[in-house]
Amino acid sequence: MRPDDLLVLNETAVIHARLVGRLAGGGRAELLLLHPVGSLRYDGAARRWFALARPGRRIRIGSRIDFGEEGEAVVRATHEDGRREVEFFFRDAFESTIERIGRLPLPPYIHNDDEESQHRYQSVFARVPGSVAAPTASLHFSPELLARIAERGIERRSIVLDIGLGTFRPIATERVDEHAMHEERYEIPAASVAAIEAAKREGRRVVAVGTTVLRALEGCVLERGRLLAGEGATACFITPGFEFRVVDALVTNFHLPRSSLFVLVSAFCGRERMLDAYCEAVERSYRFFSFGDAMFLERARP
């Protein structure tokens, strides 16, 4: 990074969205909370939530999931994309209950769900609860690294994008342009807008930490015409040919195949450059995915 760069971070925090209970008819049931019904914003008091469920074939409308002395949940509706609408009846407040009985939802390829892994799956600057997956590029930043960045005089600002299905659901269609993104909520503070506009005027680089920061900033400009402070939602799917208007460089991990994230970095850097980078990563045994290595990408110029 350069001393005149502007670094933009995502301060979202992962919630204890993975809940394990027992079906009323017997057998284990697992829910992954997404967001409250009727709102993309996290609400610790909401009782009715969209969720993914396992085993999906057994969890239907009317299914009851028992959480012991904590209470139960009832499935009120199902959707074709696999989501369930679930109503919770907990003895205590919803937020305190999920923090007590729930887990941070580590990806399925991380098999060690111990307390160290749970702790590591939250960034050191996580502040605003609402995500059901970590903005994994953020996991590379320690207090010591942030202090070194500050010592170099690098300006730092933040936004929030709550990570949901839009980020982690894989592409299941044959053609990329047939993939439908789910909306994700973002919030951009006025101070961050002012800092980004100043950096663009002065020809300084805006460096996004993670694809979520890039999607929030570019999605805001795409859908609202310019970068505006406040809350919004984006279903922006960034594919090759996209015109980037805010972000100049990106810190990001190595992503899964058939993911919207690999399509995004291909749009940002060029598909051939990214394929070369992934080939080198494989040859050099870089670590992929959530707890893996990161790369620093500069945007391809026309």
List, run by run, the mean pLDDT of 10-residue segments along the chain (302 residues).
96 97 92 96 96 92 96 96 95 96 89 88 96 94 96 97 82 84 94 98 97 97 96 93 96 89 94 94 92 92 69
SS3 91: coil
* DSSP H stretches of helix in the chain: 94-101, 115-120, 143-151, 165-168, 190-201, 211-224, 260-269, 271-283
Q: What is the pLDDT of residue 131?
A: 96
Structural element, H or E, at residue 156 = strand 155-161
Q: Which pair of structure tokens corresponds to residue 87?
A: 């109503």
Burial of 272 (0-12, 13-18, 19+ CB in 10 A): exposed
Can you give the three-state secondary structure of 7-36, one letter per residue?
EEEECEEECCCEEEEEECCCCEEEEEEEEE
Q: Which domains does the chain have, with CATH numbers?
A: 6-14+117-298 (3.40.1780.10), 18-102 (2.40.10.240)
- Residue 74 neighbours by CB under 8 Å, 6+ apart: 62, 63, 64, 65, 86, 87, 89
Q: What is the pLDDT of residue 302?
A: 64
Yes or no: say if 4 and 204 are a contact pair by the CB < 8 Å rule: yes
φ and ψ of 53, to 5 deg: -135, 145
Yes or no: say if 53 and 29 are a contact pair by the CB < 8 Å rule: yes
Instruction: Quote the CA–CA distance of 185 and 162 in Å, as a whole number.
Output: 6
pTM of the model: 0.93
- Residue 90 neighbours by CB under 8 Å, 6+ apart: 67, 70, 71, 97
Query: What CA–CA distances, in Å, run from 173 to 60, 164, 178, 264?
Result: 26, 19, 6, 16
Q: What one-letter code names the amino acid at 11? A: E
Q: What is the pLDDT of residue 289?
A: 85
Q: What is the pLDDT of residue 101?
A: 96
Q: What is the pLDDT of residue 53?
A: 95
CB atoms under 10 Å from CB of 280, counted, come to 11
φ and ψ of 207, to 5 deg: -110, 115
Nearest residue to 58 (alpha-carbon basis) of 33, 25, 32: 25
Residues in the chain: 302
